[in-house]
């Protein structure tokens, strides 16, 4: 008899009861359905225009939505009615496919110079795991391209016989992969997620004869796809539109290299120091705490700009075929940062700074960096001690106009979620037009000052109604062995420091379909750079709370009204069913 009781207890406890539509949904149905118990396509259209801001839709579009929902929800019964009942309307609003919070189309102007865009950028794109001992492979490169990453970084070294080129993380024990294999995979997958250009940034440690070999590999592999500048260097970047389906090479021209100089190479193999970055928390540390410790060692690889030296100049002549293929020249002139940020009206170049170097530079040269990035490319990369492939806070780069904020795409955690969030904008094509304030010059030649205290220009109101779908994506016992989960939602803003905040809902106990119905208000000083952060956790009394989903959405792309927000796992892959019903309103 005792056993029987336990079974009853289980079946009772785990039963998933469908939550009824929130009050706001019922009221919208009543208002737009003119108080009746059905909503026609014309009435739905009025709701879509007035509440959801879908001003471009027609009756035909609304009619198609009605038919789609009825077909999906009542496939067997051939309904005589061509109108939605309340539950159908609720189902529509709560459908991540039919009613997502952002547009899936490319809708930014793609005809401006490349330097006017934030670009989805990878760091050490060939590593399968940590920075010291993981394998090098073309698999992470393919994965990144399929996710829409547009900048792939390859470190190229001579193989042991000095007659071929390998890709590996120098001075570590990562196992190499052949360069040609990486190039072929880039060619095959470059445009699977986006037609816009792929930039390959090369960190080059080669001899002139191997550089010539690389030039041959690039030309033979990519052929017509390879963008080759007409003159020695670009005086303005072409636009993403002009460069559709093209491959662009960016590295330092040969004469600016020294032979892989041991003097700057602190051998990382011997480093036993472990960086704790995101190990202490399964979903990574809070972005607000991701500031680079200034005193940590800078990354000591060839991304540090070498000064030209006399020994190196003769090498320039040998690899001219290679040099000709470099569209965006990297490197910095002698004389430190002040000199590096000088703008040459006849030449576009790329400057690379580590995350700490950028933080340091931002303290005293913030506006010069913004001015530099209006025309030139700035790449920011993770500090060398992030051995576990964690990431830093991307916003400091974006605030200063940095186009290439380079991330370890395998370094899952909150920082990477922000990166995924930013590049959900503009149809996920990997290029996001920078806000006008980062590109404009005032009447007195002034540019945006990232340090300036700014007034609130927009307020976002977010209502978290309810969540559903976990019972389909997870086992019954995933969160709790004996009862349904206790979910709460964290919702907040990542953006400029003045806008950053996180808030949370109450915990709803023992509910697979929690209903919170809570509203939050976020005043924003720079809404153009704000990302809405959403995380769902399951409260656990005895140990760490369980992770139950996350997403980040660019505030500038949010559609007003009531929408279904699909949630992702820690790697940023969308769950099949887990989602939230939320409302967004700008005041």
Q: Give dist(CA 391, CA 394) in Å, integer.
A: 8
> How far is C-alpha 95 from the geometric centre of its chain's CA atoms?
24
Q: Give dist(CA 166, CA 30) in Å, integer.
A: 66
Cα–Cα distances (Å) from 559 to 99, 126, 381, 399, 491, in that order, read 10, 36, 32, 23, 17
Structure tokens at 468: 């559903």
Helix, strand or coil for residue 403?
Answer: coil
CA 191, 194, 169: angle at the middle one, nearest 5? 65
C-beta of residue 117 within 8 angstroms of C-beta of residue 155? no
Is 420 one of the catalytic residues? no
Q: Give dist(CA 512, CA 475) in Å, integer.
A: 11
Q: Give dist(CA 278, CA 391) in Å, integer.
A: 8
User: What does 532-545 look like in DSSP terms, one character per residue?
Assistant: EEEEEEE--SSSPP
**HSE (CB half, 13 Å, CA atoms) of 373?**
35
Q: Give dist(CA 93, CA 83) in Å, integer.
A: 15
Please name the helix (run of DSSP H) or strand (run of DSSP E) that holds residue 366, with its range, or none.
helix 355-373
Q: Which residues pair with 349 in a beta bridge?
A: 329
Q: Give dist(CA 505, CA 486) in Å, integer.
A: 12
- Catalytically annotated residue among 90, 91, 116, 123: 123
- Catalytically annotated residue among 169, 329, 400, 471: 169
Structure tokens at 248: 């662009």
Please report the beta strands in 299-397, taking only residues with DSSP state E, as ranges in sequence order.
Answer: 326-330, 349-354, 377-381
Q: Give dist(CA 286, CA 5) in Å, integer.
A: 44
CA terminus-to-terminus distance, the chain: 60
CB atoms within 10 A of CB 478: 14
**Contacts of residue 116, Cβ cutoff 8 Å, sequence gap at least 6:** 374, 433, 434, 439
| DSSP code, position 281 | S
Any idea which residues carry the catalytic annotation? 123, 169
């Amino acid at each position: 008899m005792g056993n029987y009781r336990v079974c009853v207890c289980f079946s009772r406890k785990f039963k998933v009861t469908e939550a009824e539509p929130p009050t706001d949904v019922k009221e919208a149905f009543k208002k737009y359905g003119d108080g009746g118990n059905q909503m026609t396509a014309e009435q739905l259209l009025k709701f879509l225009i007035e509440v959801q801001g879908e001003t471009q839709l027609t009756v035909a579009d609304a009619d198609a939505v009605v038919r789609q929902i009825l077909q999906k929800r009542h496939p067997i019964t051939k309904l005589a009615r061509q109108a939605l009942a309340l539950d159908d309307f609720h189902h529509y609003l709560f459908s991540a496919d039919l009613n997502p919070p952002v547009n899936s189309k490319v809708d930014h102007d793609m005809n401006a110079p490349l330097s006017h865009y934030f670009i989805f950028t990878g760091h050490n794109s060939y590593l399968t795991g940590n920075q010291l001992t993981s394998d090098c492979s073309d698999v992470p490169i393919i994965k990144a391209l399929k996710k829409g990453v547009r900048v792939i970084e390859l470190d190229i070294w001579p193989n042991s016989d000095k007659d071929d080129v390998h890709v590996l993380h120098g001075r570590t024990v990562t196992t190499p992969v052949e360069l040609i294999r990486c190039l072929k995979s880039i060619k095959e997958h470059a445009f699977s997620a986006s037609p816009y250009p792929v930039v390959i940034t090369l960190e080059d440690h080669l001899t002139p004869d191997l550089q010539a070999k690389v030039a041959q590999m690039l030309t033979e592999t990519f052929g017509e796809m390879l963008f080759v500048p007409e003159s020695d260097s670009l005086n303005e970047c072409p636009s993403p539109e002009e460069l559709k389906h093209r491959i662009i090479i960016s590295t330092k021209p040969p004469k600016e290299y020294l032979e892989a100089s041991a003097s700057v190479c602190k051998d990382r193999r011997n480093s036993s120091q472990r960086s704790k970055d995101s190990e202490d928390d399964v979903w990574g540390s809070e972005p607000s705490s991701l500031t680079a410790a200034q005193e940590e060692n800078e990354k000591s690889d060839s991304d540090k700009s070498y000064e030209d030296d006399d020994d190196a100049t003769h090498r320039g002549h040998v690899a001219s075929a290679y040099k000709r293929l470099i569209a965006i020249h990297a490197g910095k002139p002698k004389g430190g940062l002040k000199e590096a940020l000088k703008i040459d009206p006849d030449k576009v170049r790329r400057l690379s700074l580590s995350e700490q170097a950028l933080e340091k530079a931002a303290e005293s040269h913030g506006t010069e960096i913004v001015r530099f990035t209006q025309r030139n490319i700035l790449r920011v990369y993770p500090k060398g001690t992030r051995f576990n492939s964690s990431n830093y806070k991307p916003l400091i780069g974006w605030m200063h106009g940095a186009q290439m904020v380079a991330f370890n795409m395998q370094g899952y955690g909150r920082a990477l979620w922000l990166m995924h969030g930013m590049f959900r904008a503009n149809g996920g094509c990997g290029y996001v037009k920078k806000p006008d304030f980062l590109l404009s010059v005032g009447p007195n030649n002034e540019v945006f000052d990232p340090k300036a205290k700014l007034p609130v220009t927009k307020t976002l109101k977010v209502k978290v109604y309810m969540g559903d779908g976990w019972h389909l994506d997870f086992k019954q016992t995933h969160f709790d062995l004996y009862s349904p989960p206790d979910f709460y939602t964290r919702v907040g803003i990542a953006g400029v420091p003045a806008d950053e905040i996180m808030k949370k809902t109450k915990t709803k106990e023992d509910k697979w379909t929690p209903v919170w119905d809570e509203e939050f208000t976020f005043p924003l000083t720079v809404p153009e750079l704000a990302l809405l952060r959403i995380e769902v956790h399951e409260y656990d009394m005895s140990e760490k709370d369980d992770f139950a989903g996350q997403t980040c959405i660019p505030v500038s792309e949010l559609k007003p009204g009531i929408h279904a927000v699909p949630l992702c796992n820690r790697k940023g892959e969308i769950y099949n069913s887990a989602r939230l019903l939320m409302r967004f309103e700008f005041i």
